[in-house]
Amino acid sequence: MKYSNEVVINKPLAEVISLFDSEENLFKWQPELLSFEHFSGEKGEVGAKSKLLYKMGKREVEMVETITVKDLPKEFSGTYEAKGVWNEVKNFFEPIDESTTRWRSESHFEFTGFMKLFGWLMPGSFKKQSQKYLDQFKAFAEGE
């Protein structure tokens, strides 16, 4: 399953990237994130691996993030692996003008086991969750 999302943020590109490229800020715009633990590679750089723990409804979901591209301010991309789910997210940032930035996100999901059924039955929920994160970041960034 592949889809894209985008949001326009009323902040200059440099400010958006500064806020986005901060581990501490993740918790400010992803309230579902319970923990973030780096465990391999150079922290924050291509090849780095981190364990993320999210609260999704009544359950906790653990995933491993691997940074695949870090070419800021243009792109930050990675893979996210959880039980039954592999997800690649490519994030692209571009200035619209001096005070406005577009964040476009391209997602690619692959499912195995039980999650294949979930992905087939509820594909819209994945796109909706991705858009929610973009919208939450926009609200956070514009409030800073």
Query: How far is residue 112 from each of residues 15, 38, 84, measured CA to CA in Å?
Result: 38, 26, 5
Per-residue confidence (pLDDT) for residue 76, from 0 to 100:
98
Per-residue confidence (pLDDT) for residue 55, from 0 to 100:
94
Per-residue confidence (pLDDT) for residue 111, from 0 to 100:
82
Per-residue confidence (pLDDT) for residue 115, from 0 to 100:
66
Helix (H) and strand (E) counts in the chain: 4, 7
What are the residue ranges in the chain where pLDDT is below 50? none
Per-residue confidence (pLDDT) for residue 120, from 0 to 100:
58
Neighbours of 30 (CB within 10 A): 17
Per-residue confidence (pLDDT) for residue 116, from 0 to 100:
64
CATH class of the structural domain 2-143: alpha beta
Per-residue confidence (pLDDT) for residue 49, from 0 to 100:
98
Bond prior to 12 in cis (omega within 30° of 0): no
Per-residue confidence (pLDDT) for residue 112, from 0 to 100:
80
